[in-house]
Amino acid sequence: MTTKAIVIFMALSLNTQAAVWLRVNQAGYTPDRVKTAVVLSDTDIAGHTWKLKNGEKVVLNGKLDVAKRGDNYHVAQPFYYIIDFSSVKTNATYTLELAGARTEQIRILADPYSKFATQALIHLRAMRSRHSGDSAAAVYVVKGDWKAGAWQEASPRRTLDMLGGHYDAGDYIKFTLNEAYLAWHLLTAYQENPSLFANVLEEAKYSLDYLAKTFPEENTFVIQVGDAKDHEQGWRLPEQDALNGKRPALCALSRVHMGSTAAALALGGQVFQNLDSDAATLYANKAKAIYARARKKDTQLSAFERDKVNDFYFDKTDNDNMALAAAELFRLTGQQSYFDEGKADAPEAGYWVSWGEWNSFANHLLAKLGDAGAKNRMLTEVLRYEQDNVWNAPNDYTWGTLHRWIGMANAHLRARRDLQDAKQLTAPFLGILDYAFGRNNWGVAMVASPELPHSVRNIYNGIYRLTGTFPVGALSEGPGDKATHDDMKKYFEAFPKFSPLEEFNTAAAVFYDSSDDFMIQESTIGGQGDFILMLALASARVLPALPAMSQRGPASLFINRSENLFTITPSPICKADSLSITDYQGKQITVLYRNEQNQYIWNTRHIPPGVYNIIPSDGSLPLVLRK
């Protein structure tokens, strides 16, 4: 069966009934959360009965309430309804039945989401660079005014080893800004939920090792490898690319890129401190050097390449990037000047989160470190995400809608959890989590997975297209705004003449599962990072509350290891008489007491390998230790 035939067959399978449709989270729901399905209908069916069944047993039933009117903005059908089955908390697989609609499977599980984090990492592994010629990438420098976005080869000619890194999306260009965004998200996901991932630190390290190469000497910083010529080559595998060995390294002392990279490397220095001391030292030293160079007067705000279609990741402000770098360096070192610089550079409250907006990251961290102004800005920003619509969508449709919505949902949950004493408001987070897994207009899960009954199958990507490989773990960009999509159709090679998904498109938003549609189906590493953080947060909610590593300030503990013996030395800020050692199910393993040498000693000879929390009794900064 051809790819196009599969698309049509799958879409037809979503539409076996002509008038009524059920939309659910196909991955499942955790027992204690709010759990809802959405009913879309061409006619008013208020009062119709629905049933939630376990086998043949009806465990819950009800009647549809008074219809809500579709607005042709978020919902195309004239009527919609909400079915709430939150009262059902027993782990099981159920069926949801409603006359006229296809029966849908409902999974209630202790942890429905972590497996998809692993799949998302599979996609990132597929996006690792395979261009061997990047080992000698020619240095290119800005030609004239950086605002023109033009480049020329450096004179005298020189090359850099820029092997590694990830391809940004469906193309093979490597963007330092997006690589830093990815690395920061992978590390943050690990901090939020260390027990979730088997391989997240491996992927984060791969990204950090590349970022460490971007600053080879005092006056050279790499913002991009590859250029607009990449888009002129047509479909080809990296190993068959005519540009292999000819891809330039665009270099500029751009504060946007340097700040973002320093932030990611500084966080890497914290996370790897007790896991790989050599790597941690490299990342920490590079972060300090890049940040210090970025603060000199001869740097520029940003740099980018101007393409005939669009500018490549142009960013108008650098204060958010530089503020986050300063805040992460303060957490790494405890040096007060970094915190002061972070507060001075702190950005205003943002309106959305995307690759170009690091506002929420900076303000969130500064607020946790004690900056009251940053707290106010962060809460001001996330209040804008609390929108009252059927999908809890926090913003308008645009290019890369879903990636931005996920970023906003993550920012909202973390801000509400960390910066307010009030009860968490989780509607935006759970709404977008459900949306990504199929509780949306089209009933399509937006992450490609063989374990989801109705997921996307066609990602705009040459590697998947040419190898015929199913794009496991790749996240769609989600619906696009109709106006931009109409303008971009001329660039799609084979826009579908017929799509059964069409009837769910609105005047504002459209969605197609087409591998030629780079506006909707081009998975990006930035979006992938957002999604992995969302899955870490969603999965952490089913585990005992655990202290996040390195969240409240500079390091409180330092660890030396000699085989099975760990010697833990407190820093001056740590006043704890004892340390509690727990695993990541929250089970206490042992308690260590400070000895006469002002140290704690832990003999792990009989302790199984794993990841453990080290929690000081005085409430100072905990650490994570891997045995």
For the segment 297-317, the average pLDDT, to the nearest whole number, is 90
| 536 and 561 fall within a common domain | no
Across the strands, what pairs with 565?
A: 562, 603
What is the CB neighbour count within 10 angstroms for residue 547?
A: 17
Residue 541's pLDDT band, with cuts at 50, 70 and 90, is: low
At 551 the pLDDT is 34
For the segment 486-495, the average pLDDT, to the nearest whole number, is 82
| 60 and 157 fall within a common domain | no
Specify the DSSP class assigned to residue 350. P
Token pair of 185 as six digits: 């998200």
Query: Which CATH number characterizes residue 100's domain?
Result: 2.60.40.10
Token pair of 478 as six digits: 């989600």
Domain ranges, residue 589: 557-626
Q: Residue with structure tokens 């690395």?
A: 183
Rounded CA separation 188/182 (Å)? 10
The per-residue pLDDT for range 135-171, each reduced to its tens digit, is 999 999 999 999 999 999 999 999 999 999 999 999 9
The per-residue pLDDT for range 70-119, each reduced to its tens digit, is 999 999 999 999 999 999 999 999 999 999 999 999 999 999 998 999 99
- 523 close to 461: Cβ distance less than 8 angstroms: yes
Token pair of 108 as six digits: 């209630």
Asked if residue 4 has pLDDT above 50, the reply is no
| 272 and 178 fall within a common domain | yes
- 384 close to 460: Cβ distance less than 8 angstroms: no
| 101 and 217 fall within a common domain | no
| 98 and 119 fall within a common domain | no
At 608 the pLDDT is 81
For the segment 268-275, the average pLDDT, to the nearest whole number, is 92
| 65 and 133 fall within a common domain | no
Q: Rounded to the nearest 5°, which phi and psi values hold at 626? A: -105, 125
3-class secondary-structure state, position 605:
coil
| 63 and 138 fall within a common domain | no
| 301 and 256 fall within a common domain | yes
The per-residue pLDDT for range 560-597, each reduced to its tens digit, is 777 788 888 887 667 788 888 876 455 788 899 988 88
For the chain, the farthest-separated pair of C-alpha atoms sits apart, in whole angstroms, at: 78
| 25 and 170 fall within a common domain | no
At 24 the pLDDT is 98
Residue 626's pLDDT band, with cuts at 50, 70 and 90, is: low
Residue by residue, DSSP assigns 381-450 as HHHTT---STT---S---TTHHHHHHHHHHHHHHHHHHH-SSPP--HHHHHHHHHHTT-STT--BSB--T
Rounded CA separation 481/500 (Å)? 19
Asked if residue 132 has pLDDT above 80, the reply is yes
For the segment 536-560, the average pLDDT, to the nearest whole number, is 56
Residue of 508, 306, 522, 393 lying closest to 38 (CA atoms): 393
At 424 the pLDDT is 62
Residue 610's pLDDT band, with cuts at 50, 70 and 90, is: low
Token pair of 621 as six digits: 């900064």
| 118 and 253 fall within a common domain | yes
Averaged pLDDT of the chain: 89
Query: Which CATH number characterizes residue 283's domain?
Result: 1.50.10.10
In a domain, 12, yes or no: yes
- Into how many domains does the chain fold? 3
Domain boundary among 110, 145, 174: 110
Q: H/E element holding 611?
A: strand 611-616
In a domain, 490, yes or no: no
| 99 and 199 fall within a common domain | no
At 2 the pLDDT is 46
- 567 close to 535: Cβ distance less than 8 angstroms: no
Tell me the pairing of strands 305-306 and 249-251.
Answer: unpaired
| 120 against 567, higher pLDDT | 120
At 517 the pLDDT is 94
Rounded CA separation 594/568 (Å)? 9
